[in-house]
A and B are shown apart, each in its own frame.
Chain A
Amino acid sequence: AQSVTQLGSHVSVSEGALVLLRCNYSSSVPPYLFWYVQYPNQGLQLLLKYTTGATLVKGINGFEAEFKKSETSFHLTKPSAHMSDAAEYFCAVSDRDKIIFGKGTRLHILP
């Protein structure tokens, strides 16, 4: 079965600094990979996804992620953090006909 590991349940960065949220997956077949974001009191919203093709995927709100097969990673980055980026972020991997979510990383933005 596929699985997802998100390193760090909490990450703090200063406003304007680089955001890096780590995600590693295990998959026996080429995976589909996703990043979702959850703002307080809301459901999850898709940030970006990788299915096939270009390994660098751009998403909404200035986020991007790179699929690295050799490292089984799909880390999420944003060059410059904004206060509005404070939220919980979930990495997910496809598993046959459903999606498996990681435990999430809560991103804190320091003024």
Chain B
Amino acid sequence: ETGVTQTPRHLVMGMTNKKSLKCEQHLGHNAMYWYKQSAKKPLELMFVYSLEERVENNSVPSRFSPECPNSSHLFLHLHTLQPEDSALYLCASSHGRANYNEQFFGPGTRLTVL
């Protein structure tokens, strides 16, 4: 595998379910990101991890819980979601967290909350 991979690609869940999204990067990067992409809205930065420490949490509801066990893996744990949480969730990574570094994106997980 190369680049940034995300699993699953599609997920349908009820509001009472618990699920996790997985992201893996094979680029040797040390910063990883979760974004939410909704129709007709800009990409929303959710979380940033740098050197496996969470360095940014953009007022994301607690029903979203990130985890970064090592520099190559990033998880987003989901529980008691709402229908408005349905969106494409994108993972990205970069070499260092500086704002001039290119971010490499995974293909996303399309989440539908019923």
A residues whose Cβ falls under 8 Å from a Cβ of B: 4, 9, 32, 34, 36, 41-46, 49, 51, 90, 94-104
Once bound together, how far apart are the Cα atoms of A9 and B40, in whole Å?
8
| Chain B interface bracket (under 10, 10 to 19, 20 to 34, 35 or more) | 20 to 34
| Smallest CB separation, A45 vs chain B (Å) | 7
Q: Are A43 and B108 in contact (CB under 8 A)?
A: yes
With contacts A41-B107, A43-B106 known, is A90 near B100, CB below 8 A? no
Binding site for A on B (CB under 8 A): 4, 40-43, 45, 48, 56, 90, 92, 97-100, 102-108
- Assess the B105–A97 pair: CB atoms within 8 A: no
- Which A-chain residue is minimally distant from B58 (CB atoms)? A98
- Complex alpha-carbon distance, A94 and B92, angstroms: 16
Contact (Cβ within 8 A) B102 A101: no
A95 with B99: CB separation less than 8 A = yes
Q: Which A residues are CB-close (under 8 A) to B92?
A: 43-44
Provide the main secondary structure of the chain A interface: strand
Knowing A43-B90, A101-B43, A103-B41, say if A94 contacts B99 (CB, 8 Å): yes
Is the pair B102, A96 in contact by a Cβ cutoff of 8 Å? no
Pairwise interchain contact A49-B106, C-beta atoms closer than 8 A? no
* Shortest Cβ-Cβ A-B pairs, 5 listed: A43-B105, A94-B99, A101-B43, A44-B105, A32-B100
The smallest beta-carbon distance between A48 and chain B, in angstroms, is 10
CA–CA, A31 and B24, complex, Å: 30
